[in-house]
Structures are given as structure tokens and as C-alpha cells.
Amino acid sequence: MLERPPAQGQAAERNAPPRLVVARDTDGGRSRPSARRRVLVADDEPAMRVLCRVNLQVDGVEVLEASDGSEALEVATRERPDLVLLDVMMPGIDGWEVARRLEADAATRDIPILFMTALAGADDRRRGFEAGGVGYIVKPFDPIQLGQRVNRTLELLEQGDRDRLRREMLD
């Protein structure tokens, strides 16, 4: 939340820079505000993780990161993010296998997955659909719209429109 610092007089208040007011942690980090969404960005390219993090944070999203499939599975299990932005082509455990394992685990199967990949073919989208994804973002993408896409996806999921999102993947 942005607010102006206390000022003396109207002119000082108009010219004062806004400051970020952060809510204090009163419960030792056991809970988080419900309005703050958390997204796990799993991509082996550091530049892509930074690009996603910066643009998601602008839209008020808390970002968790993983640099490979194994780490993505660990973070998803431990942190239970609201959504996973999952690269497909990663060394070791690829995104398809990460999705399969998340789907197979009762603790993580309800975490929605937005695939984020350069694989743009119809067969690739279908594979993402079959892996249980709720969306498919083709690289390169407009990073400015990433937060909007993530928030729209989460809003539709909250409204119970998972099937609609999954159908849109194939369009």
C-alpha cells in the first residue's frame, strides 16, 4: 500500500514521495494475507525468472522461484503456491514430468499450472492439457501482460472456471 509520509503543510505533503507501507508479521510467518497471491516461477533460465518476478511483483504477486524441475517439486510441496508458471524444457526433470508428479501427489494436485514454453505447436498444447495445465503461455510473450494473465487465471479458478481455462488452452 502506498501512502504519503506525514508532512508539515499542504505543499510538503504534495511534494513528498510515496512510501511503501508493509504490514508487520505478527504470527511468525505462519499465515499470509489472502489478497497476496503467490506464484512459483520454475524456469532454468535466470533471466526469465527475473523477468517474471519483476513483472509479477508490479501486479502485487509474491514470487517463489525454482531453477529446475526437482527444485520446483520441492518448493511447490513446501510452499503450496496459488499457481505454478512452469517452463517445459528444463534439464533433468522437465516441465511435463513436474506437472505429472504434482498431479499425482494429493498435497499438490490442486495447484494450477500455467505452462510457459517456446513449444508452440498444437501437439504441445494438447500435451499441456493432458498434463493437467490450466493455461499455456508461448515464449516470447509480453512480460507486461504476465501479471494480468496470472491474476485473470486465478480469478477464473476462484469462480470455478477451471474447465473453461483448460478448453482455452487448445484454442
Residue 117 vs residue 32, higher pLDDT: 117
The pLDDT assigned to 89 comes to 93
19-20 vs 2-3, strand pairing mode: antiparallel
Determine the Cα–Cα distance for residues 43 and 75; give it in Å rounded to an integer: 13
List, for residues 55-71, the tens digit of each pLDDT value: 999 989 999 999 999 99
Examine the pLDDT at 5 and tell me if it is beyond 70.
no
Mean pLDDT score across all residues of the chain? 79
User: In which element (H, E) is residue 57 found?
Assistant: helix 46-58
The β-bridge partners of 64 are 40
The pLDDT assigned to 113 comes to 94
Percent of the chain whose pLDDT exceeds 90: 46
For range 135-164, the mean pLDDT:
85
Examine the pLDDT at 165 and tell me if it is beyond 80.
no
Candidate from 75-79, 128-132, 156-160, 165-169 with smallest mean pLDDT:
165-169
69: closest CA among 51, 88, 47? 88
Examine the pLDDT at 96 and tell me if it is beyond 90.
yes
The pLDDT assigned to 19 comes to 34
For range 111-117, the mean pLDDT:
92
The pLDDT assigned to 21 comes to 30
Candidate from 21-35, 86-100, 112-126 with smallest mean pLDDT:
21-35
Examine the pLDDT at 28 and tell me if it is beyond 50.
no
Indicate the DSSP class of residue 22: -
Domains of the chain plus CATH, in order, are 35-169 (3.40.50.2300)
> What grid cell was written down for 67?
531453477
